[in-house]
Structure 1
Amino acid sequence: MEMTLVGLRVLREVAERGTFTAAAQALGYTQSAVSRQMAALEEATGARLFDRYPGGVRLTGSGRALLRRAVVALDALEAADRELRGAEEVERGSVRLGFFPTAGAVIVPRALAMLHQEHPHIQVTTREGTTPSLVRALRAGTLDLAVLSSRPPHRSPDTDEPPLSVEPLLEVHLAVAVSVGGAFAERGSVSVEEIAGAPWIAGPGSADEPLLGVWPGLPGRSEVRHTARDWLTKLHLVAAGVGITTATPALLPVVPPGVRFVPVEGAPEEVRRVSLVRVPGPPNAPTQALAHALRREAADLADLADLAD
């Protein structure tokens, strides 16, 4: 039995999605069809490609090695197809970017505007996602760059080989966003004890990432009164005076009126690092141009955060 292009495409999708079910939905296949393709690929290679566990699947060392080669082959075939069809993308270039939710409020749109001004023919496609999902997409070759956030000790977002290229762009200190009409508005800082009993506005937690918007490590169980995935929605709810949330000065350019950032005392300093992540190897020209725009926007935001401090 030989490896097939269909099998390699399914392999890439399963590696990115993390489950046979999600890969089947993305491809428009049945789950059994995906299972058959992966079984055939394992038979053709003579190696186990996935470790199965209750939450999904993870590539083995053999699976990661095959995926690296499969991504190169599939990308080459797709590029050949575009060239044969005369697609302008070959000459003009394209880049695929993933980012964590807060980055979509400021750094990504501003960097894209800068890129469009300087390189109007570069086509960028974007997607928002969690760190695990974006890392899987980088490994699967369906993203070229990802803007990710991390907290100390700022380890690599995965342990697979070869190691991802991780370039720090920006470091910011976490603060609490409060209403200018609320109890904390005139304070120079707030204590852990005070905010522990406050009503919170947070994003729904998931298996991939914890609850976002509540100060880390608070004693007891925090009261999450409002949930929202979008950070601007959270900040507008803060402005309405219905609760508080965590935020960083990187959001200052889009903070609605009626919101103030206050530092927290009596707790370890919470630092968030924003990094540009990609698979190792020389990036193409469009990817380099987008990375340059992201670096410049990050530098501008760092200056703004320093002024806020």
Structure 2
Amino acid sequence: MMNLMHWRLLVAVADHGSITAAAEQVGMTQSAASQAMASMEATLGAQLFTREPRKTLPTALGLSVIEQARVMMGALQAIRTTVDEARPLLRGSIRIASFPMVMATFLTPLLQRFRQLNPGIEVTTLDVTDSEVHTLLDAGLIDLGVVLNPKPERHATVLGRDQWMAVLATNHPLAQRAADASVSLEELLEQPFVLATGGCTANARSLATAAGLSLRDIRVQVREWNSAYSLVREGVGVTLVPEMALPTQRNGLRVMPLTVALHREFALVGSHTQPPSAAVSALLKMLAD
């Protein structure tokens, strides 16, 4: 039975030309080394070295075996190097904050995969509003946060993007247009309006301001998208929602694109008060790949 010590001894004998010197290098007695060499040759059924009074030299077959042994030892060293480099990732933690919709739709499956690849890293997630994400990032209380429409100077890892869609009751005059028709932002904002925020600072009001327009007749403001759909069905007003938040059941609703599409982008941004840890870097690399 041959083990790693036998192969280390084999290479050492080839390098030193002496069993005595090789035994000292690998931490064996001379007699134990001689027995190990004899045992290896007996197991292989071949002579690997010729013993001379002052020199132990490899046979032709021994040279081939030694070459393969060096490959084996090199592979073992590569394995050790790989493990040593990854050692900081064997333990660690990551704190991530996101608003719930992106967490459920995008992050949860990605984090499940990351946990499978890095079982020693603890990932903690927080469901918060997008304004709270910025507060937590600025305070250095989280490692990563999902932000909407990140600024160019922030090093952001984009998770996805969607566009804003108009939602009207099916009996609304604007909803009577052809199946492939659109509605302009300006004419939508002129209607009685149900302002839905989804807990985000990016909503119909901020979009109107950015376009130099205003919401003229806000009938009610709600946080939950589903509440807005119920109110739209009842004829309280129209609304503007991100594509990701559209309901699966659309009875009584007409969903229309804007004539000039407006998009929102959501991305992971790191804390700007502290450099990313090895664990955070590993997660960002997985997302980039």
The two structures have a TM-score, normalised by structure 2, of: 0.51
Q: Deviations over 1:230-278 (max 9, x none)?
A: 23433443344432222222334x544334431222xx54221211100
1:201: how far off?
A: 1.8
Q: Which residue of 2 aligns with 1:194?
A: 187
Q: Deviations over 1:99-154 (max 9, x none)?
A: 246535633455456656776774423131234x423322322111111112xxx5
209 and 251 in structure 1: CA distance in 2 versus 1, 3 angstrom threshold = closer
286 and 98 in structure 1: CA distance in 2 versus 1, 3 angstrom threshold = same
Q: Which residue of 2 aligns with 1:278?
A: 270
User: Is it true that 1:177 corresponds to 2:173 in the alignment?
Assistant: no
Letter in 2 for 1:262: M
CA contact (8 A) 1:225 1:243 kept: yes
State the distance in 2 between where 1:180 and 1:92 align.
Answer: 55
Moved over 6 A (4+): 116-121
State the distance in 2 between where 1:190 and 1:242 align.
Answer: 18
User: Is it true that 1:129 corresponds to 2:123 in the alignment?
Assistant: no
- Please say which structure displays the higher CA radius of gyration: 2
Q: SS of the counterpart of 2:204?
A: coil
1:204-283 equivalences under 5 Å are 209=201, 212-214=203-205, 216=208, 217=211, 219=213, 221-252=215-246, 254-258=247-251, 259-265=253-259, 269-279=261-271, 281-283=275-277
RMSD between aligned residues: 3.9
Aligned pairs, number: 191
State the distance in 1 between where 2:280 and 2:139 align.
Answer: 19
Q: SS of the counterpart of 1:233?
A: helix
Q: Deviations over 1:10-49 (max 9, x none)?
A: xxxxxxxxxxxxxxxxxxxxxxxxxxxxxxxxxxxxxxxx
Identity across matched positions, percent: 24
Q: Which residue of 2 aligns with 1:98?
A: 97
CA contact (8 A) 2:159 2:266 kept: yes
218 and 184 in structure 1: CA distance in 2 versus 1, 3 angstrom threshold = farther
Q: Which residue of 2 aligns with 1:155?
A: 151
1:227: how far off?
A: 1.2
State the distance in 2 between where 1:225 and 1:257 align.
Answer: 22
5+ residue gaps, structure 2, are 1-88
CA contact (8 A) 1:149 1:273 kept: yes
State the distance in 1 between where 2:217 and 2:194 align.
Answer: 9
5+ residue gaps, structure 1, are 1-89, 157-162, 297-309
